[in-house]
Structure 1
Amino acid sequence: MSTTQRSESMNSFFDGYVNSKTTLRLFVNQYENALRDKVEKENIADFHSFKSIVPCINHYDIEKQFQSVYTNSKFQEFQKELTRKIYYYPTFIKKEGAIEVYQVTEDMRIGDKRKDVVYDILLNEEEFEVKCSCHHYEFRGILCRHVLCLLREKRIKEVPLKYILERWKKNVKRKHNFIRCTYSGMEDTSVAKRFDMFCAIHFMKWQK
């Protein structure tokens, strides 16, 4: 995850819970509220993932593989990539040892213009290592449409478990579900006062 994405994720997590007036005591309380709300939403999503199944959109074996293990929301995100793979066709470039190099050209709109963007895909079938220069897997945790179109052409019907991340599984026990926060009379300490000052400065900069 990039620094910008991580910052946006944190801002989204605390949105509506903290502001420039937030003290250390209130921050801890609001953090617990934000975490409790996040856990509750995830528990509801997990419940629906177990009780209802998002149907597959085709007979692609890899889609069935992800359907069986991923939460509904993450599986639907995977399906969006899967449906877009039909627009792309990989071109073999070269082979270096066990690594095959392919390219996929994507027609993208940039502002008012359209531009062809070329992505490089590296595939090691012996160890089943696959990487795409779009870095969608590194950022989002699911295989990109460029890789999926290559797997289709190679007639690969199942991906290794290392490409099915634990944090998106239906049955995962998320660690933050067990986090407990306490505030033990720190409001008058120098640490608390420095923290309160830091929060005020941080949020004033954030809101500019």
Structure 2
Amino acid sequence: MHAFFGGYLHCKSGLVQFVHEYDNVLGNKEQKELEDDNADSKEVVPCLSSSTIERQFQREYTTSKFREVQQEFRKSGDCLVRGVTQEGDLFRVIVNEQYLLYGEPKSWTNSVKFDPAIHKVRCECNMFESRGILCCYCLTVFFYYGVDKVPSRYVIPRWSKNVQQKHTFIKSSHDEKRSDESHNLFRGLCSHFYNVT
């Protein structure tokens, strides 16, 4: 709640002020989403490497989510495979990450289970399950086994720059403020082509 209304309300705000500010918050959030969508359609963040996996995420993800993915690509440069054991059809890969903490060299080890037949990975850090992006350990395993494209299960449609956002077709009180001719034409086109894919 505080993150949503931060800068608009305080602890002594009344109900009337809440209703008025709620409308302002929605208008500002809607405007920010439109600006972000526009930026994602135009801006292309350059890749840090020549990895085809990084290019895959660059094509698919919004700018902000791709930058998060790039942080994991950076960290994967500090990771090494330290051991591999086979457990049935799966491989258990031990990945060691080297990093600096207050100027002191440190290391962290994680275990990744990898299915080479379907390129399925699962890291014990659970970053994909919690944040929806592959961790540096999973990326290291993909690089180690020469995987050049991640399966679609690891590309979450929620952060796709090509996703069709149905909430933008919901009318709000702020639409009246933007009732110029070009905006009305755009809304009309959207309503006609909404179900065409």
Q: TM-score, normalised by structure 2?
A: 0.73
Partner of 1:45: 36
Quote how far apart the aligned CAs of 1:79 are: 1.5
The partner residue of 1:105 within 82, 92, 96 is: 96
Q: Can you list the C-alpha shifts for 1:89-122, whole angstroms capped at 9, x where unaligned?
A: 1233422222211122224556786543221111
Identity of aligned residues (%): 35
Kindly indicate whether the alpha-carbon contact (under 8 Å) linking 1:49 and 1:71 is maintained by their aligned counterparts in 2. yes
The answer on whether the counterparts of 2:79 and 2:98 sit within 8 Å (CA) in structure 1 is: no
- Which structure 2 residue ranges, 5 or more long, are not aligned? 174-197
- Deviation digits for residues 31-73 of structure 1 (CA, Å, limit 9, x no counterpart): 3433332232222122122123222222210111111111122
Indicate the larger mover: 115-124 or 17-26: 17-26
Matches within 5 A, 1:129-208: 129-174=120-165, 177=168
Cross-structure match for 2:64: 73
Q: Aligned in 2, Cα 1:112/1:94: closer, same or farther, shift over 3 Å?
A: same
The normalised TM-score by structure 1 is 0.70
Residues 167, 174 of structure 1: 8 Å contact kept: no
CA distance in 2, matches of 1:167, 1:39: 17
**Does residue 36 of the first structure (1) align with residue 14 of the second (2)?**
no
How far, CA to CA, are the matches of 2:30 and 2:83 in structure 1?
45
User: Does the residue aligned with 1:156 lie in a helix, a strand or coil?
Assistant: coil
Paired with 2:74 and 2:103, the residues of 1 have a C-alpha distance of 25
Q: Relative CO higher for 1 or 2, CA cutoff 8 Å, sep ≥ 6?
A: 1
Give the match for residue 21 of structure 1: 12
AA matched with 1:144: C
What is the CA–CA distance in structure 2 between the aligned matches of 1:175 and 1:29, rounded to whole Å?
25
The letter of the residue matching 2:60 is V
Residue 117 of structure 2, aligned match among 114, 126, 131: 126
Size of the aligned set, in residue pairs, is: 173
